[in-house]
């Protein structure tokens, strides 16, 4: 017999708590496990176990490697396994994640280090719809907001919230003090078009929250190399603009445009390539004006054919969808979502950063020559080798 586990994530603590409470009311012998990382500066993490009637147990766990998230990982699995060993005393374990903990990392932990006693059956992100816009627009560091999960946590409020939203297949909508409007719901729908949006009080909530979960497929869906990025949409003043191009960016012109592009939309993401980094797939993640650019290894076209069988199937499938006869999977694919989005200005700014016809001709004739082009991007990415 295995113990079904549901993860409930989200920056909105009241919405998260209401969602957990709904699950506990719906499942007799259901319990909720929560690790509060607020006390991490004092060297401990507080663990609470409760059911629909109240707190069953409370204890502290020491920090591991001076990292609250490490302590959570080391303490969570043993506690879940202990609940699983209790047999019929526990019918469902709800893991209520602390504010800034992302469900992807915990789902991966359960997949790689869990055993046959535990089955992850659902991941839910609890959301107060009226707070979606202000949270996404918040470019402050988590540390400044008192939400950092480790000393070296460099995430921002906006990008953490965006990843929490975009990973979970089910968004539990819990209204707070401010009433949401059509813009709030349209924003959620466009950020994660595949998600089911429902209230924890809806009769279908429990079956949807426990319908089953494939952690590998979910990770592939949001990873920049394989992400199922949203399509263009327009609703209630919210626009999703998809921009694609084959030719590479000029590194200097793109670098100069980064502040404008990062602030051009509430949320943007995708993959791109630079003229002086022909072999490297670059990811783009921005929220609240804070931009993260990372090098994620080679494009599939940069690998020898003999190495392709070693590439994950999802990666090969994503590359072959829009395969170019000359460039392979090298392309610009960026998606911008925001209320009041100025699509015309955004498109013009992006296109101004591409290689001109003359530059493209020179690049096509001798792409290796561009690898010696120094750029301010070198401050964001690993040095060219």
pLDDT tens digits along 328-346 = 999 999 999 999 999 999 9
pLDDT digits (tens, 9 = 90+) for 151-160: 778 899 999 9
One domain, residues 25 and 107? yes
Q: How many CA atoms lie within 13 A of 37 on its CB side?
A: 26
> Which CATH number fits the domain that encloses residue 168?
3.40.50.300
One domain, residues 121 and 261? no
One domain, residues 139 and 242? no
Rounded to whole angstroms, how far apart are CA atoms 146 and 61? 20
pLDDT averaged over the chain?
93
Is residue 384, in this structure, part of any structural domain at all? no
Is residue 173, in this structure, part of any structural domain at all? yes
Q: Which of 201, 222, 243 is the last residue of a domain?
A: 222
Average pLDDT of 61-67?
76
Total domains in the chain come to: 2
One domain, residues 60 and 168? yes
Is residue 60, in this structure, part of any structural domain at all? yes
Is residue 196, in this structure, part of any structural domain at all? yes
385 pLDDT above the threshold of 60: no
Q: What is residue 384's predicted lDDT score, i.e. its pLDDT?
A: 44
One domain, residues 174 and 270? no
Lowest mean pLDDT among 142-146, 239-243, 278-282, 356-360: 142-146
Is residue 228, in this structure, part of any structural domain at all? no
Is residue 385, in this structure, part of any structural domain at all? no
All residues at 6 or more sequence positions from 42 whose CB lies less than 8 Å from its CB, including other chains: none
317 pLDDT above the threshold of 50: yes
In the structure encoding, which two tokens stand for residue 211, read together? 């319908």
Rounded to whole angstroms, how far apart are CA atoms 198 and 205? 7
Domain carrying residue 246: 233-379
Q: What is residue 73's predicted lDDT score, i.e. its pLDDT?
A: 80
One domain, residues 206 and 243? no
Q: Rounded to a whole number, what is the distance in angstroms from the first to the last CA of the chain? A: 52
Query: Which residues, listed in sequence order, are joined to residue 328 by a DSSP beta bridge?
Result: 324
Q: What is residue 382's predicted lDDT score, i.e. its pLDDT?
A: 62
All residues at 6 or more sequence positions from 73 whose CB lies less than 8 Å from its CB, including other chains: 64, 106, 109
Q: What is residue 71's predicted lDDT score, i.e. its pLDDT?
A: 77
One domain, residues 108 and 144? yes
One domain, residues 185 and 238? no
Rounded to whole angstroms, how far apart are CA atoms 204 and 199? 9
383 pLDDT above the threshold of 60: no
- Geometric angle at alpha carbon 94, from 91 and 96, rounded to 5°: 165
296 pLDDT above the threshold of 60: yes
Q: Which of 195, 222, 249 is the last residue of a domain?
A: 222
Is residue 227, in this structure, part of any structural domain at all? no
One domain, residues 108 and 146? yes
One domain, residues 146 and 245? no
Percent of the chain past pLDDT 90, that is, above it, reads 80
One domain, residues 77 and 184? yes
Rounded to whole angstroms, how far apart are CA atoms 253 and 354? 8
> Which CATH number fits the domain that encloses residue 265?
3.30.1220.10
């Amino acid at each position: 017999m295995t113990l079904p586990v549901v993860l409930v994530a989200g920056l909105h603590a009241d919405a998260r708590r209401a969602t957990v409470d709904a699950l506990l009311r719906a499942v007799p012998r259901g319990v909720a496990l929560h690790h509060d990382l607020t006390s991490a500066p004092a060297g401990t993490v507080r663990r609470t176990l409760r059911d629909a009637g109240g707190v069953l147990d409370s204890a502290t766990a020491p920090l591991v490697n001076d990292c609250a998230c490490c302590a959570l990982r080391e303490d969570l699995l043993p506690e879940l396994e202990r609940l699983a060993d209790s047999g019929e005393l526990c019918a469902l374990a709800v893991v209520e994640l602390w504010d800034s903990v992302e469900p992807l990392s915990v789902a991966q932990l359960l997949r790689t280090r869990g055993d046959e006693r535990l089955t992850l059956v659902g991941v839910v992100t609890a959301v107060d719809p009226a707070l979606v816009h202000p949270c996404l627009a918040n470019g402050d560091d988590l540390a400044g907001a008192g939400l950092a999960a480790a000393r070296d946590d460099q995430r921002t409020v906006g990008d953490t919230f965006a990843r929490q939203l975009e990973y979970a297949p089910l968004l539990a909508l819990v209204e707070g003090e401010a009433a949401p409007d059509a813009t709030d719901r349209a924003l959620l729908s466009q950020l994660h078009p595949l998600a089911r949006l429902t209230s924890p009080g809806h009769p279908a909530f429990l079956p949807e929250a426990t319908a089953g979960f494939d952690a590998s497929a979910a990770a592939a869906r949001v990873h920049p190399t394989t992400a199922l990025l949203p399509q263009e949409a327009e609703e209630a003043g919210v626009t999703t603009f998809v921009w694609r191009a084959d030719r590479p960016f000029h590194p200097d012109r793109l670098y100069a445009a980064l502040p404008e592009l990062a602030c051009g939309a509430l949320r943007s993401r995708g993959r791109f390539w630079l003229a002086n980094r022909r072999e490297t797939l670059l990811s783009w993640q921005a929220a609240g004006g804070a931009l993260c650019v990372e090098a994620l290894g080679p494009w599939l076209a940069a690998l020898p054919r003999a190495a392709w069988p070693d590439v994950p199937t999802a990666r090969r499938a994503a590359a072959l969808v829009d395969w170019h006869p000359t460039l392979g999977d090298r392309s610009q694919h960026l998606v911008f979502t925001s209320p009041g989005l100025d699509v015309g200005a955004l498109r013009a700014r992006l296109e101004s950063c591409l290689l001109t016809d003359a530059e493209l001709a020179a690049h096509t004739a001798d792409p290796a020559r561009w690898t010696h082009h120094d750029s301010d991007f070198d401050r964001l990415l690993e040095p060219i080798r």
